[in-house]
Amino acid sequence: MAKVLLINGSPRKLGNTHVALGEVAKTLNEQGIETEIAWIGTKPVRGCIACGTCAKTGSGKCVFDDDICNEMIDKLNSADALVIGSPVYYGQPTGQVLSLMQRMFFAGAKVANKPAAAVTVCRRGGSSAAFQALQMPFQMVNMPIVTSQYWNIAFGREQGEASLDAEGMQTMRQLARNMAWMLKSIAGGNQQAPAVEPWQGMHFIR
């Protein structure tokens, strides 16, 4: 059975981000897909300091092991797909979830060819900018992006209000159905994953 890891990037464990991710998880379960909603908690999450130790050792882990990053890397490595959710703070995802994503991907979490999606929840505005910020890393690490009927956004202020956003919840369900379809298509296919050329990093200073 395929498994999807859903990361709740909100400091509120059972807030509206959880409501949105829960709707995705419930629909995935109905499609025969196992799920885990992992909460990042309220403790500090380090930002990447570009030390490069993860690349030098090839460990696939961050050298700093005093927060949830390496635990989340382990969960992601054992999952077949990823959904990352965040509330919107000043038009952006939470700082903790951005730090987590950057360190997980840079450290070498096994993510290539795993379907991925982002979910944002807000009171009023900034949701599309935050949604875009969460999705951008997926395209840099060869993760196919799962779509829905609209951007994966739900609205609500007080705890649980996002459940009243009928279109938002429908969008979450369609996202889940599309992800289940993609996972089943990958599992049932006979094509190998695309070849990846050695990275040729460039800048424009000469």
Looking at residue 2, its pLDDT comes to: 96
Please give the DSSP secondary-structure letter assigned to residue 66.
S
The tens digit of pLDDT for each residue in 130-167 reads 999 999 999 999 999 999 999 999 999 999 999 999 99
Structural contact between residues 121 and 87, judged by C-beta atoms closer than 8 angstroms = yes
The tens digit of pLDDT for each residue in 98-135 reads 999 999 999 999 999 999 999 999 999 999 999 999 99
The pTM of the full predicted model, rounded to 2 decimals, is 0.95
Structural contact between residues 51 and 63, judged by C-beta atoms closer than 8 angstroms = yes
The tens digit of pLDDT for each residue in 9-29 reads 999 999 999 999 999 999 999
Q: Tokens at residue 199, please?
A: 């990275």
Q: How far is CA 65 from the centre of its chain?
A: 21
The tens digit of pLDDT for each residue in 47-58 reads 999 999 999 999
Ordered domains of the chain (ranges, CATH):
3-188 (3.40.50.360)
The tens digit of pLDDT for each residue in 62-91 reads 999 999 999 999 999 999 999 999 999 999
| Closest among 35, 32, 42 to 9, alpha carbons compared | 42
Beta-strand runs (E) in 24-141? 34-39, 81-87, 116-122
